[in-house]
Structure 1
């Protein structure tokens, strides 16, 4: 079945939160969904290898959290190859462990605008990482760990999504999220309402605020590039090669990770953009961003340590 259960299958099997299904009236029609369930609008794509019977059975589940769906368009990448890579990361983990490079975070403030530039790597293919960034099902990619685990389910939740435009690999989506933060004994929630312009083929995106509380400017971008982590060991080469060349010279045993480049630009509202309040806000933004990246890293590391499915 293509990518399932190789990718989304293990999501549903291993990290899914308890489901909250919609209630049905006597005539079989669903009643109105709660505020918590507004995000079920999508965007969603079915695995193209799913049989009509499997799709029908999935639809009977009555909740998008339980369905084998993707938030990125599978027309623009090889689902079978992605599933193979996910299994390869698991099978090679003990024999050839791979550690992510330390994050590179640069913060620069100019004319009131804070530019946060981040480079980091993850042991998972670009399309899988993109799915983690954009999937609106509130799966535990950004799971509260350590001292937070008794307080919050996740740090970053999606409230609602709506596709505004779809043109080939390009998709423009309106997204509402809520970010939970805790720093220096203070904690709170931070509502985020943005427009995300994605390219599912290039694995890139830009975003810009519709409305973000306390922020005059809130925008940025990200891109995921393939990282051939076993190239030097299996191909005996450091020169740049293509994915096909990498697959050939590694005998199909070469893992593909991700090099992620992000830029986040923000500026607090005028009445908050003065010291020391502006310093505090920038400190929260940088701290929370680093914590979210660590959540992703811990999630990917945990998945790679799981046993290969029979």
Structure 2
């Protein structure tokens, strides 16, 4: 008989069933199925554990690299700030402010200012969660929520209470902004989420490096901060060029003059005030004394406010005279 046959005695004792099972006589695919059923989950679990381990390793390495980069950036920034402390001489120049309006309603405000601090530090001041410590017009940071975070980019929802002062009036107003911050190129975009006094309020700003002591580089003009650091032997100070572009339009209730003029004046004054506060903080961090624009502003502040008051009064008189002339001409025709 063939190798698959068993004797009657083996069949009675049950040994034959075992032999049939071992020789794959009964259920020829059963052992294969059992093998797959047991081994496949084990293989899958080992694979999962290996992936988890690899992912954990990648995260650990990434975290170490992030900490190292942050430490290196802080060290680099401290060296730049030390260069300013070694040579704090700097005269703040008045910012360049250009205002263009369309039909006296929609306004475009462009501001350029040079600041005696490194760009990364200026950016940190602007984006600090508690930046009311730097800017007097921010009375309260109500809330700050990070909506999206992608490395050096993040989108933040900001709610603040801002103070305003114009001529003889003063008060506070709520601000609700969605801000897109990009630390890689030191830029930011913002847009008002909910409006109260403004129909439109949005804009952007950026911070660019200024090579203050470029004369130390005798051979060639530096094209990057690395070149500047090398050719100046680390003694060259790096300043910042801040550029702001802001678009705003008063709400319908505040459109008629002179209300629209007041809102326009408040917005411009608030922006200029932020630049003044930035200059003051830069002076403090440099360890030097203020000078130039800040000193002049403190001395001429009363005269400045009076001139603005006279200007708005004259514009209102001119507006009324023009309106009366139009009415008279229409009546005589």
TM-score range, shorter chain: 0.5 to 0.7
In 2, the alpha carbon distance for the partners of 1:182 and 1:206 equals: 25
Residue number in structure 1 paired with 2:244? 262
Aligned length: 223
Corresponding position: 1:164 with 2:147: yes
Q: CA distance change for structure 1 residues 237 and 263 in 2, over 3 Å: closer, same or farther?
A: farther
Higher Cα Rg, which structure: 2
Partner of 2:52: none
Match of 2:175 in 1: 192
1:120 aligns with 2:103: no
1:105 matched to 2:124? The reply is no
Report deviation, 1:77: 7.7
Give the Cα separation in 2 of the matches to 1:238 and 1:109: 43
- Aligned residue for 2:285, secondary structure, equals helix
Partner of 2:128: 135
Answering whether residue 263 of structure 2 is matched by residue 281 of structure 1, we say yes
Correspondence for 1:90 among 85, 91, 113:
85
Give 1:175-254 correspondences, 5 Å limit: 175-232=158-215, 234-236=216-218, 239=221, 241-254=223-236
Counterpart of 1:71 in structure 2 is: none
- TM-score normalized with structure 2 length: 0.63
Q: Which runs of 5+ in 1 are unaligned?
A: 1-46, 50-73, 144-153
Aligned to 2:29: none
Change (3 A) 1:275 1:248: same
Shift of 1:127: 1.1
TM-score, length basis structure 1: 0.67
Shift of 1:306: 5.9
Offset at residue 236 of structure 1 (A) = 3.5
How far did residue 75 of structure 1 move?
5.2
Residue 237 of structure 1, CA deviation: 7.0
Other structure's SS at 1:211 match: coil
Answer yes or no: is the 8 Å Cα contact 2:166–2:265 preserved in 1: no
What aligned pairs does 1:43-54 form with structure 2 within 5 A after superposition? 48=67
Q: Residues 156 and 289 (structure 1 numbering): CA distance in 2 closer, same or farther, change over 3 Å?
A: farther
Query: Larger % of helix: which?
Result: 2
